[in-house]
Structure 1
């Protein structure tokens, strides 16, 4: 059953939409399509030594999960290493304060996993993590992942599955699970085959179809910049095709490769905006350009330096923080805490206006301390991040009627024939949709490009196409602009 068929096929063309005939927008649809106020679970599964250093310290270092696990296996054996990983998973999950997340209205968790975690390492033949497959068979990360998903659902929190580590690497960083420089995933056919034919389908079958609170499947994290990106595009298209055959409504998340416009243009050109969300990461502590600025210059310029073409595609900010480089702080006068507050609030006021799938802070928790400006808990607790209120604002029906009258009056006398009922149908549908989302903890309707496009197609299927569909377009957009706040 499609979640997006809301109109009776026998409804009269000039009849205002009867909202009581619409199918209810269920929880799965809301989880997949709302604007998120979320956080990453960094180093739960894909280990990063600066966040959780247990295993790294035990074996005397290593800068990637593969290196640390390999050393540990050599020193202690596969079973014992698996037990150490299980202890880490349990400790991390037990430390999550679900009531805190619920109370501050976190809507989603982005959970980085590696391809080696999927189905407890049973797809590793011929892949770089094969030498430690027995460790993950022992550690059972997939079991812990399912427990996480189920628990999150009990708190109305969704999960974004982020395949953070790909075989051969989408980038050459340690957070890919193994340092490979240059990264070779996109140019290695057997690696791409393993993901598209085995690993991604089992994620969809075993998790995405089984749990209603899966918000999306991210098929790559931080793909390297490529001016042409032909190999990357080929992977994205193939993965999207395979996943959509299993579940055509599942959001598929790709990386912007540090060039958002390149990918919104590509998504639009390939007519896949209904399936795709583009993930862009916003950090202001790494580039030499940002290091050369003071704090105020960085947060004041965010509207100019973070721009997404939301008319072509849906976006998310999958990672950001409140961290600025020490070179920036040397150039900055005034109270550091005041600047951090301004920086965090500037980001979290901007992102929900341009990223229709919302934002995810990096990161939730750390082995030692609270993470400071990398830590979600202290930044929320200090009111440095603007979270969504759980209080629902009712929509004034008189205001809706006034907007409809305003539209009709504006066009009165400017032509001999219009189809103003399309405008009215559209704004009333928008109101219905917004209220349906609001009903789940004041969720806000998101994925504006995809959602509006689907609604438009449904409407044409129900009421027929017309040269006056511009009235429907204006009505639905006016409803979003006016009431989806």
Structure 2
């Protein structure tokens, strides 16, 4: 990290904690926009949480390995702690140097980057006592991945790009896949109290204080990746509730992202029932290349069914599509007649036209770059370059105040003679507040208001505190929603 960046970080690290906790007002400043806009983003797969199919350098050094823990352990045996740390640092540096920030901002028009990390990276491995990665803690203390996380955040801020910090790997695993850092089958994190305690009492609070509060361009903190399906999910609910409480005590406005466990409705119901819509965003991964059901369909059928199969209860909670790609299984292609490139383009375009309408926190493509080649249908850069993704517009459209006035007049006219008393001024207050908010978001690279459930609930709460509750708050509700529908496009 350069001296300039080190000094910049030092001065940026003001203690915002008191200010954030005490202020529920939604001032449309840069921090608020980064946390609440609709995101068009990409994942940095295998930057920190190593996956051999994306970046295989460390795995090749030791002749393989099924997970980061296994590869690092083998590397220690062969090269020692310092030699392994050197190789990790070389990987972090070469990966970061390869990122084309101008492409991301100017060609891909992204707003955000999702950065998968493991619990073992946090503060350079200082929380590993009693956890599965403890045997290799010395490597991460020397490799200093946490310093590179901060370097990445600082660089992204110069391009008006936010960072979604994704704790991809949990001790004991939220699933039994290699992307948890260590393959544990069955995954045991949620039903291991000491692991949950460590995350909720130490690791997540540290991340919040050390990164999410000081840096204004943090979009949110994801506390789990791809939790396994669980019909009752009582252990998951315990972790999620504790984690949200722990984080919110430090920063009550920070979006906390949870996994949908492959059942979105289960978690939107839970968020709604527990009044957590202010704080929680639900992450749903959309892949059409893994299930037998999708493998038995042709490409055209999968594409045509997307509007029905991507279905979130956005009236109860805010959602994000944290991962998706343009990949379909070879069994699907065997059943498909026609030009593969055309189908891929239609698949990507259809997904990225649906997601911003259903997922108020936006989408993140998997993944940005690879050690070898461009990743093909897994690769963000070739899919953008081939125009297979519907990207956001950066053209700011002015809101015509005459149109606003006409909507208000039409509302009043519609209700004329339909009752003895109304409070139409609440409708007007609401739509004018929506317009003001939309214009505030537009001021930062034509950002759009996201997290519609949370944002509207907070604005509504502010309004009642200012002007009082009423049986006519339905007019405010209609006014604010009409403003979003009309102008937040």
After TM superposition, is the score higher than 0.5?
Answer: yes
| Corresponding position: 1:101 with 2:107 | no
Query: Whole-Å Cα distance in 2 between the matches of residues 44 and 156 of structure 1?
Result: 21
Residue 109 of structure 1 aligns to a residue in which SS? Answer: strand
CA offset at residue 159 of structure 1? 0.2
**67, 80, 98: which one aligns with 1:64:** 67
Query: Whole-Å Cα distance in 2 between the matches of residues 73 and 114 of structure 1?
Result: 19
Residue 249 of structure 2 aligns to a residue in which SS? Answer: helix
The match for 2:412 is 408
The match for 2:83 is 80
Residue 301 of structure 1 aligns to a residue in which SS? Answer: helix
The match for 2:49 is 46
The match for 1:467 is 471
State the TM-score, normalized to the length of structure 2: 0.95
Query: Whole-Å Cα distance in 1 between the matches of residues 62 and 25 of structure 2?
Result: 56
Query: Whole-Å Cα distance in 2 between the matches of residues 155 and 434 of structure 1?
Result: 21
CA offset at residue 373 of structure 1? 0.2
Matches within 5 A, 1:394-433: 394-433=398-437
**149, 153, 163: which one aligns with 1:149:** 153
Residue 110 of structure 1 aligns to a residue in which SS? Answer: strand
The match for 1:183 is 187
Whether the 8 Å CA contact 1:4–1:455 is kept in 2: the answer is no
Query: Whole-Å Cα distance in 2 between the matches of residues 476 and 305 of structure 1?
Result: 29
Query: Whole-Å Cα distance in 2 between the matches of residues 323 and 61 of structure 1?
Result: 25
The match for 1:5 is 25
State the TM-score, normalized to the length of structure 1: 0.96
Query: Whole-Å Cα distance in 1 between the matches of residues 448 and 357 of structure 2?
Result: 11
Matches within 5 A, 1:38-437: 38-103=41-106, 104-437=108-441
Return 5+ residue gaps in structure 1 as ranges. Answer: 7-23
Question: What are the Cα deviations for residues 244-273 of structure 1, in whole angstroms up to 9, with x where unaligned?
Answer: 000000000000000000000000000010
CA offset at residue 5 of structure 1? 2.3
CA offset at residue 4 of structure 1? 4.8
Query: Whole-Å Cα distance in 1 between the matches of residues 427 and 459 of structure 2?
Result: 13
| Corresponding position: 1:448 with 2:452 | yes
Query: Whole-Å Cα distance in 1 between the matches of residues 64 and 202 of structure 2?
Result: 32
CA offset at residue 226 of structure 1? 0.2
Query: Whole-Å Cα distance in 2 between the matches of residues 215 and 42 of structure 1?
Result: 18
CA offset at residue 303 of structure 1? 1.1
Residue 246 of structure 1 aligns to a residue in which SS? Answer: coil
Query: Whole-Å Cα distance in 1 between the matches of residues 459 and 204 of structure 2?
Result: 28
Question: What are the Cα deviations for residues 116-141 of structure 1, in whole angstroms up to 9, with x where unaligned?
Answer: 00000000000000000000011000
After superposing on structure 2, the runs of 4+ consecutive aligned residues of structure 1 that deviate more than 3 Å are 1-4
Whether the 8 Å CA contact 1:35–1:447 is kept in 2: the answer is yes
Residue 364 of structure 2 aligns to a residue in which SS? Answer: strand
Query: Whole-Å Cα distance in 2 between the matches of residues 382 and 34 of structure 1?
Result: 26
The match for 1:35 is 38
Return 5+ residue gaps in structure 2 as ranges. Answer: 1-18
State how many pairs are aligned.
468
Question: What are the Cα deviations for residues 363-400 of structure 1, in whole angstroms up to 9, with x where unaligned?
Answer: 00000000000000000111111111111011111110
